[in-house]
Structure 1
Amino acid sequence: MFGAYDAADGTDGALTGRMVPVSPPPLPRSVLVGAWAAILGPIVYVTTWAVAGALRDGYSPTRDAISELGELGASTAPAMTAAFVLFGLSALPFARVADRLPGAGRLLQVAIVVTGVATAGAGVFPCSAGCPGPGSSFTDNGHSVVATVGYIALMACPLLSGRAAIHAGARRYGWTSVALGAVGVLGMTAWVLGLAGDAYGGLLQRGFNTVADVWWVLAGVVLLTGSASVRNSSAAKDVERSTTYSTHSEHR
């Protein structure tokens, strides 16, 4: 990106018209932390359930729910509980800077926070053996509530962000987000209705869960690279305005 004038002979760069690269201002620390939280939170979460599911005897990632890895008394419960809580915590710095995404506002930030709190709640309220659902115990009731709220909020995030981005003119990012959200909602609906059957319920859950998690990673990348693009553009415009003013002053 070019945005400043320079002169090799020491004269005023505004008069020579030579361009040199302008370094954009660095990203604020809060944006860096939020962006990397959006990227690393889902990666740690998905990696944990993938590895734990492969290592646990008698567990089938194709058949069994992710939450069963964190069920009471399970050998994989400590790792899965930590993954739930870490993902939930990662949502907080992400939500703080999510309004920097194209067209985004307070509603998206709220959806991200709700997703994080509910996901952490899945670790605070682990299900009992086999995750029998609500009505079985206090912790099963709590787990069912946070799982329901969390999944609704998780699917809302890419849809809210995508719609706002499209209206803001960031159509590629916007439509990609909408597509991820739509696929996630379809998958979640099929899972809730039991369309995959008992044999493939776990696989379907992992599918729509991961699709939604991809949006978090995408949003983190956009915060890192998209913000840099905006900063470059802003810096170039500032220098251009300054140079134009300087040139006019010299000609008066």
Structure 2
Amino acid sequence: MTASAVPSVRRRPDLTGLGLVLGPVAFIGAWATAGARTPGYVPTRDAISRTAAVGAPERPLMTAGFLAFAACAAVGSVALRRHVPGPAWIATAVNAAATVGVAASPLERSDLVDAAHTVTATTGYVSLALTPLLAARPLAEAGHRGLARASVATGVAVGACLAATAGLESSGLPQRVGLTIGDAWLIAAGLAIVSGHTLRPGGGTGPAPAVRAGP
């Protein structure tokens, strides 16, 4: 059976998709606010995690932002599993777990904790870039070629921006650009899911039409 032959069904809005929207919104709001309120902090230079370091004045706010994102992303991974073909949901679930790790390993506590922070943050970056990349091929196979191309472009852009943070003394800007691009993909996917759009084979890019009951 080809993708076009797969029957379409009416999809009700799935509120688990809100996790993909609310998590990034909470995270972006937290780092923007924490950065603005931290004396001497320069967002284009300093990493986001600096606002959650031990002794940082806005550590509670930024830690709450990390945890809010993690909780919402965990819910959002369920939405991706239901509505987006392929293993993208696994990357989002890993991202949620890694973000909890980032919150639990604040900078400036000890060398060991700093090392743990680096591992969890790197895992979070990689999993965020992988989420759209892992969705791209299944989306293309399902007939959503435009969405697949956009997903590849998103994943590559996220990876490039976040890789740049390793080679720059002022890593704040590329970090924020990369994370925001990745978060924008999550938000777009979440809004599509909440509005009842299907990304499964045969569903097109809009809400699937109802099929009549019966044999």
- TM-score of Structure 1 vs Structure 2, range by shorter chain: 0.7 to 0.9
2:185 to 194, 210, 215: 215
Shift of 1:51: 1.3
Q: In the alignment, which of 126, 137, 144 is matched to residue 170 of structure 1?
A: 144
Larger RCO of the pair (alpha carbons < 8 Å, separation 6+): 2
Residues 1:191 and 2:171 are matched in the alignment: no
Segments of structure 1 that go 5 or more residues without pairing to the other structure are 1-23, 130-135, 246-252
* TM-score, length-scaled by structure 2: 0.85
Q: SS of 1:238's equivalent?
A: coil
2:80, 2:89 within 8 Å by CA — same for their partners in 1? Answer: yes
Instruction: Name stretches of at least 5 consecutive residues in structure 2 with no aligned partner.
Output: 1-9
Contact 1:84–1:123 (Cα < 8 Å) also in 2 = yes
Q: In the alignment, which residue of structure 2 is the partner of 1:249?
A: none
Give runs of aligned pairs for residues 20-99 of structure 1, distance below 5 A. Answer: 26-27=12-13, 31-32=14-15, 34-99=16-81
TM-score normalised to the size of structure 1?
0.73
Structure ranking higher in helix proportion: 1
Distance in 2, matches of 1:121 and 1:71, equals: 13
Aligned length: 201
C-alpha distance in structure 2 between counterparts of 1:94 and 1:219, whole Å: 9
- 1:132 maps to none
Q: How does 1:136-155 map to 2 (within 5 A)?
A: 137-155=111-129
Name the CA shift for 1:141/1:25 in 2 (closer, same or farther; >3 Å): closer
Code of the residue aligned with 2:66 in structure 1: it is F
- For residue 233 of structure 1, what is the aligned residue in structure 2? 208
SS of residue matched to 1:188 = helix
What is the rounded CA distance, in whole Å, between the counterparts of 1:53 and 1:218 in structure 2?
A: 25
> Which residue of the partner structure matches residue 203 of structure 1?
173
CA distance in 1, matches of 2:56, 2:97: 23
Q: 2:90 aligns with which of 85, 93, 110?
A: 110
* Structure ID, larger Rg: 1
Deviation sequence 1:13-48 (CA, Å, 0-9, x none): xxxxxxxxxxx5633xxx31x211100100110111
User: Structure 1's 159 and 25: CA in aligned 2 closer, same or farther, altered over 3 A?
Assistant: closer
Give the Cα separation in 1 of the matches to 2:192 and 2:156. 20
Residue identity in the other structure for 2:39: D
Change in Cα spacing, 1:84 to 1:233, as seen in structure 2 (3 Å) is closer
Tell me the equivalent position of 1:160.
Answer: 134
- Kindly report structure 1 stretches of 4+ aligned residues shifted beyond 3 Å: 24-27, 227-234
Q: How many percent identity over aligned positions? A: 33
Task: Go from structure 1 to structure 2 and tell me whether the alpha carbon gap of 1:233 and 1:208 turns closer, same or farther (over 3 Å shift).
Answer: closer
Question: What per-residue deviation string (whole Å, max 9, x for no partner) do you get for residues 26-80 of structure 1?
Answer: 33xxx31x21110010011011101111121110001100000000011110000
Report the CA distance shift for 1:137/1:216 in structure 2 as closer, same or farther (over 3 A).
Answer: same
